[in-house]
């Protein structure tokens, strides 16, 4: 082939063929022809497990019962996220209040308290006073029945849903209570404490009845974890439920067998 023909063939080469003859298209180190397919760098992962921030540990959650939960509830109450007296029991109502606070703070509404939620709450509220942590009652006491005005009396009002521990007409302490349903009503009248049991389980319903003070057959004043968790959304089987375990424990030690019990409207 002549030199002119070679030049002509070179000139007639298509643009794509000419473009492919780039400096990169040189033999590889091992002498092989380079691949015609371009190669791309492997993308770096956006983040490895070691680069991610560890999950904040849960400090308080549904089912917990301690003094830190009581402080949590008192602080939430200051901020209008919790509308009842602190009980120290973390139930569904507390979880809803925590979720409300979290959403207000732009946090994920888990309903459980992690370190981030707790620090935000500490910054948004002040240290609760003793009365805020353990107020006498959520519900206001009404006028005691005449039978409550003399002696040592557990004066229980269905109207205000409160129990007032009274001695000679003076209120020593008070707490919120709930009663039986329409099918299992709490009996009204004047009774006396027949016997007490610090730990007791119902032989009929097989549910715990801590700090039970029996006053009318199987009906007793006792602590109720269900009342602490659900409030007035539930009812007892006839007993007088108390939701503040610590306050009832103190009352239990003060009440004697034979003390008067008055249940009234």
Q: Which residue do the tokens 């973390």 mark?
A: 90
Residue 250, CB-side half-sphere exposure with 13 Å CA sphere: 9
pLDDT in tens, 127-171: 999 878 887 677 888 889 999 999 999 999 998 999 999 999 999
- Pair of tokens at residue 56: 């904040």
Q: Where are the beta strands (DSSP E) in 111-151?
A: 113-114
Q: Rounded to an integer, what distance in angstroms lies between the CA atom of residue 121 and that of residue 113?
A: 10
pLDDT tens over the chain, length 265 residues: 444 444 444 444 443 444 344 444 444 444 444 444 444 444 444 444 444 456 689 999 999 989 999 999 999 999 999 987 787 889 888 999 999 999 999 999 999 999 999 999 999 999 999 878 887 677 888 889 999 999 999 999 998 999 999 999 999 999 999 999 999 999 999 999 999 999 999 999 899 999 999 999 999 999 999 998 888 888 999 999 999 999 999 999 999 999 999 999 9
How does strand 170-178 pair with strand 189-192?
A: unpaired
């Amino acid at each position: 082939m002549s030199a002119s023909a070679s030049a002509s063939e070179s000139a007639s080469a298509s643009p794509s063929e000419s473009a492919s003859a780039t400096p990169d298209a040189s033999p590889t180190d091992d002498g092989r022809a380079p691949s015609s397919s371009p190669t791309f760098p492997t993308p770096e992962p956006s983040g490895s497990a070691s680069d991610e921030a560890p999950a904040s540990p849960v400090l308080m959650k549904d089912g917990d019962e301690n003094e830190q939960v009581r402080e949590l509830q008192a602080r939430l109450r200051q901020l209008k996220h919790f509308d009842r007296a602190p009980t120290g029991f973390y139930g569904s109502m507390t979880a809803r209040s925590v979720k409300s606070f979290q959403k207000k703070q732009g946090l994920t509404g888990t309903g459980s308290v992690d370190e981030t939620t707790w620090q935000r709450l500490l910054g948004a509220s002040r240290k609760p006073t003793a009365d805020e942590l353990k107020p006498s009652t959520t519900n206001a006491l009404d006028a005691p029945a005449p039978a409550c005005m003399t002696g040592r009396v557990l004066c229980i009002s269905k109207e205000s849903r409160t129990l007032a521990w009274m001695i000679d007409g003076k209120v020593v302490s008070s707490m919120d209570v709930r009663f039986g349903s329409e099918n299992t009503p709490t009996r009204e009248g004047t009774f006396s404490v027949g016997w007490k049991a610090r730990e007791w389980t119902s032989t009929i319903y097989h549910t715990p009845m801590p700090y039970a003070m029996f006053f009318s057959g199987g009906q007793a004043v006792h602590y109720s974890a269900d009342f602490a968790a659900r409030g007035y959304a539930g009812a007892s089987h006839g007993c007088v439920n108390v939701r503040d375990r610590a306050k009832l424990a103190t009352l239990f030690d003060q009440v004697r067998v034979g003390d008067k019990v008055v249940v009234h409207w």
